[in-house]
Amino acid sequence: MSSVIGKNIILSVFGESHGDAIGCVIDGLPDGIRLDTERIYAEMQRRAPGRDKTSTPRREADMPRIISGVLDGVTTGAPLAMLIENTNTKSGDYKNVMTVPRPSHSDYPAYVKFGGNNDVRGGGHFSARLTAPLVFAGAIAKQILEEKGVTVGAHISQIGAVKDTAFDKNGVSADVLTALTKKPFAVIDDGAEQKMRDEIERYRLDQNSVGGAIECAAVGLPVGLGGNMFDTVEGRLAQILYGIPAVKGVQFGLGFGFAAANGKAVNDGYEMRDGAVALKSNNNGGVLGGMTSGAPLIVCVAMKPTPSIAAPQDSVNLETMENTVLEIKGRHDPCILPRAVPVVESAVALGILDMMMEQD
């Protein structure tokens, strides 16, 4: 099991949901970056639980403590380690999952893989809480990217039956993306927010949960990041994005929409615009031949409904090897999407920064 990623910027994530602390080490950060800690905290607040009814009522301080790699607020070039102490945990709520795996969670394969040694309290190292260090690292990556003229932003493109307006694939701007990162509920069409909230509330009242999708964009990228075959922008970003719990699909541009499309309709032609080569359309989501094309990067991830629901579910008892019915107690988000927006942005930002570090 590896919680380490990256070629030039190496992120190592550690911690368990109900352990002493969670955190990360970021190795390979450029030196001389004056960290915008207010911005880091703001990004982490976007992910933090307990802000409204769409999320779990738990409250996490989630205040990161920087251990190393920063001196007088400026990165030193040495590994940056960060720690978030766990202060408010209630392990008792999860005791039964020791023997009865929760459906659609990591419990059963982890039980087999680790022979029962893995920390199961609150999901242990598999908990979505481990996305907090990812957001921390992503906030730093986004700051560095912005100093290089690259802006990353995302919105909830779908929750259950409700869809938001999609990004204008060839016209999305840094302003649009920055505005999204400041919304408490990140949607492009403000009218979609209440409908999505209603959708979530409907499932919550039914002891149920609901899935969705997040669309993320990056603008200002140089042409030619990434590469072909096994160094594609798509493959490198997908590997990080699939590190976010609940992500089950990753697509670029039209993505699965390409399956029903024809070349005449979706090929992205070129034209001269303001004296420079420009794409007439951006169905490829800013990536051609595995490399950035100059058009905005558009990636969309599908997330499954929160597996933890209050309704009774069929499972088995791994000790007695008998069928049983599981009732999950504890506090859980009926929909993970609103809090996952900065997590998706972070994964994309980290992947882009890692690629930009090797740009010649």
Question: Who contacts 334 (Cβ-Cβ below 8 Å, separation ≥6)?
Answer: 54, 200, 201, 203, 204, 208, 209, 210, 306, 309
Measure the CA–CA gap between 138 and 17, rounded to whole angstroms.
20
Question: Minimum Å distance from CB 92 to a second copy?
Answer: 16
Nearer to a second copy, 172 or 241 (CB): 241
What DSSP state is assigned to residue 116?
A: T
Q: Is 312 helix (H, G, I), strand (E, B) or coil?
A: coil
Question: Who contacts 262 (Cβ-Cβ below 8 Å, separation ≥6)?
Answer: none
Q: Is 257 helix (H, G, I), strand (E, B) or coil?
A: helix
Nearer to a second copy, 211 or 338 (CB): 211
Question: Minimum Å distance from CB 178 to a second copy?
Answer: 25
Question: Minimum Å distance from CB 218 to a second copy?
Answer: 15
Question: Minimum Å distance from CB 99 to a second copy?
Answer: 12
Question: Minimum Å distance from CB 348 to a second copy?
Answer: 14
Give me 142's structure tokens: 């986004």
Question: Minimum Å distance from CB 150 to a second copy?
Answer: 16
Nearer to a second copy, 73 or 175 (CB): 73
Query: How many residues are given for the chain?
Result: 360
Nearer to a second copy, 38 or 360 (CB): 360
Nearer to a second copy, 95 or 182 (CB): 95
CA angle 335, 337, 338 (to 5 degrees): 100
CB of 346 within 8 A of CB of 5? no
CB of 240 within 8 A of CB of 350? yes
Give me 275's structure tokens: 């004296």
Nearer to a second copy, 77 or 175 (CB): 77
